[in-house]
Amino acid sequence: MKTLVWVEHDGATVKDATLAVVTAASQLGEVHLIVAGQGVDAVAAEAAKIAGVGKVHVADDAAYAHALAENVAPLIVQLMGDHDAVLFPATSGGKNIAPRVAALLDVMQISDILSVESEDTFTRPIYAGNAIATVQTKDAKKVITVRGTAFAKAAAEGGSGAVEAVATTGDIGVSTYVGSEIAKSERPELTSAKIIVSGGRALGSGEQFHALIDPLADKLGAGVGASRAAVDAGYAPNDYQVGQTGKIVAPEVYVAVGISGAIQHLAGMKDSKTIIAINKDEDAPIFQVADIGLVGDLFKIVPELTEKL
Amino acid sequence: MKVLVPVKRVLDYNVKPRVKADGTGVDLANVKMSMNPFDEIAVEEAIRLKDKGVTEIVVVSIGEQKAQETLRTALAMGADRAILVVSDEKVEPLGVAKLLKAIVDEEKPDLVILGKQAIDDDNNQTGQMLAGLLGVGQATFASKVELTADSVTVTREVDGGSETETLKLPAIVTTDLRLNEPRYASLPNIMKAKSKPMAQKTAADYGVDVAPRLTTLKVVEPAKRSAGIKVADVDELVGKLKAMGVAK
């Protein structure tokens, strides 16, 4: 089976999420990549070095500069004449494009797979991760998004894929990119961080969130996350949100501070290797999944913990 | 200007789903069902756009007869009329998108607003598929929508921050959590909603084949985490962290 992987990048480097998708694709067959963008020679060269990659298709055109789904989807559909499956990371970028590709190919997409059982059978979470479904597809072409935390990352070095330019499909002219606001952070990216410190509504304010969570995260070299409640209350930006409707993470250590542990939040972090919970309510549901729990006032515990580390 | 809002009846988000012992699915007998939370946000946004030139809001649901309740809720919030496409079989996002395309071809709305995902199947596909089938622009994960006579400018929540795009109308928008705070339907409006028009159709009426492409072989509970321990104080926690190699 020939599989195609859409490479997520920021115009300069390949995003980490792509590496896990390559691993999933390699379980299906020969792996080809598609790098679409404007001025993406460096990205294509980097992509070609990913271990296990056979070929890197490059589509360099202004129409792909901001990965608008309207323009990228026809390009991928064109490449599906020669491929049996196309895989995307289940990131905001992948989720935006993949279903459009599936509809144009008249196939049902399989979202957010956790494993490849065979070439037509996959597992995926439903109901906020409270159930795992095994699904089999009857479609000849497969369109799949991959949960990054469920697959090991392919090595970024060691491969020697052949880079090949492909015909571009142009701008279909229905959408225009206006601009973006990307938060700058010195800390590890949430979905690839080994340690995450997350804060909830109990922190009480944005100031307290930063005053307590940030120093602890810095001490541990951790990424910073938040519950939906903390984000909705404005204590942390939207892209910090961990949960069914935010980011799905599975770090080595997840420290949940002042988070009760609603179903929605657990869906985003319950595959973490070790979960540590700090909460004053000893009946909080978070303690049912936590490996190590400490019951007490976070305003006393967190500063003490930060100091003693 | 006309807006179409598809809504789905799902297990209420507060209910903990129970996997059936025979592995065929999640038990939906005698549990509370509600409108998918993202769809409530979509209905709310459509209503708020009524000040900006929207004159009619049509809500659509595809599913069993009981989906009428979900449509009545949307009508009580402020939608004008409803279409129920009755199907006893579960319809996959591709089938839903095809039915919605047929409805769009008939109703010719300027904007379709959907939720970004349904909290039961967690697919996050239908809006994008509909946009693809129609060949129109899509703005997924919207946190801000600005409508003009011939375009819509949408701020989208993306990994790392936000992004803004402008789409020509007609266009498809899918809602993220922070787009708005949906209103509650008042009792008088719930009463009024009972007399608002609701058309009943079937997939066959639209000539759409909704046969499933995926077969669910089994549904199981996720692996349970083993019970953890509670530590007494910060010193003990620091000790554990050191033992794990997380702290020096």
Nearest beta carbon to residue A109 from set B125, B164, B231: B125
Say which residues have a Cβ less than 8 Å from residue A163's Cβ, sequence separation at least 6.
A44, A45, A48, A56, A58
Which residues from A are below 8 Å from B131, CB to CB?
69-70, 100, 103
Which residues 6+ apart lie within 8 Å of B240 measured at CB? A292, B231
Q: Which amino acid is at A231?
A: V
What per-residue confidence (pLDDT) applies to A182?
85
A131 vs B132, B219, B238: nearest CB: B219
Distance from CA of B33 to the nearest CA of A (A): 13
Q: What is the pLDDT of residue A20?
A: 96
Distance from CA of B137 to the nearest CA of A (A): 5
Q: How far is CA B38 from the centre of its chain?
A: 5
ipTM, 2 decimals? Answer: 0.96
For residue B111, list chain A residues with Cβ-Cβ distance below 8 A.
Answer: none
- SS3 call for B46: helix
- Rounded to two decimals, the pTM is 0.95
Nearest to B129 among A102, A135, A179 (CB): A102
Residue contact A92–B158, C-beta within 8 A: yes
Set of chain B residues whose Cβ sits within 8 Å of the Cβ of A95? 124, 128, 140
Chain A nearest CA to B192, separation (Å): 32
- Could you tell me where the beta strands, DSSP code E, fall in B169-202? 171-175, 198-202
Q: What percent of chain B has pLDDT over 70?
A: 100
Pairwise CB contact (< 8 Å): B246 & A195:
yes
Residue-wise DSSP of B124-170: --HHHHHHHHHT-EEEEEEEEEEE-SSEEEEEEEETTEEEEEEEESS
**Probe site for chain B from A70, A123, A197 (most B CB atoms < 10 A):** A70
Asked if A98 has any chain B CB less than 8 Å from its own CB, the reply is yes
- A308 contacts B235? CB cut-off 8 A: yes
Number of A:B CB contacts under 8 A?
250
pLDDT score, position A252: 94
**What is chain A's pLDDT, residue by residue, as a tens digit (309 residues)?**
999 999 999 999 999 999 999 999 999 999 999 999 999 999 999 999 999 999 999 999 999 999 999 999 999 999 999 999 999 999 999 999 999 999 999 999 999 999 999 999 999 999 999 999 999 999 999 999 999 999 999 999 999 999 999 999 999 999 999 999 987 778 888 988 999 999 999 999 999 999 999 999 999 999 999 999 999 999 999 889 999 888 999 999 999 999 999 999 999 999 999 999 999 999 999 999 999 999 999 999 999 999 998
Beta-carbon separation of A220 and B168 below 8 A = no
For residue A150, what pLDDT is reported? 94
User: Could you give the CA distance from residue A256 to residue A196 in angstroms, rounded to a whole number?
Assistant: 8
Flag the least confident range among A111-120, A180-189, B150-159, B204-213: A180-189
Give me the residue from A131, A172, A238 closest to B17, CB to CB. Answer: A131
pLDDT of residue A183: 77
In which band, very low, low, confident or very high, does the pLDDT at B246 lie, cut at 50, 70 and 90? Answer: confident
Is the CB of B26 less than 8 angstroms away from the CB of A101?
Answer: no
Name residues 220-259 of chain A within 8 A of B (Cβ).
Answer: 220, 228, 231-232, 237-239, 244-245, 247, 252-253
Task: Please report the pLDDT score of residue A145 as a whole number.
Answer: 98
Name every chain A residue with its beta carbon within 8 A of the beta carbon of B130: 103
Nearest neighbour of A291 by CB, restricted to B124, B212, B228: B228
Of A213, A303, A195, A211, the closest CA to residue A257 belongs to A213
Write the residue in A97, A108, A183 that is nearest to B161 by C-beta: A183
Query: What long-range pairs does A264-268 form, CB within 8 A, spacing at least 24?
Result: A264/A128, A264/A228, A264/B13, A265/A227, A265/A228, A266/A128, A266/A129, A267/A125, A267/A128, A267/A129, A267/A130, A267/A243, A268/A241, A268/A242, A268/A243, A268/A244
A223-226, strands of its sheet edge to edge? A223-226, A195-199, A253-257, A274-279, A292-295, B229-231
Residue B245 has pLDDT above 90, yes or no: no
Q: What are the chain B neighbours of A289 within 8 Å (beta carbons)?
A: 225, 228
Asked whether the beta carbons of residue A238 and residue B157 sit closer than 8 angstroms, the reply is: yes
Is residue B247 over pLDDT 90? no
The pLDDT assigned to B3 comes to 98
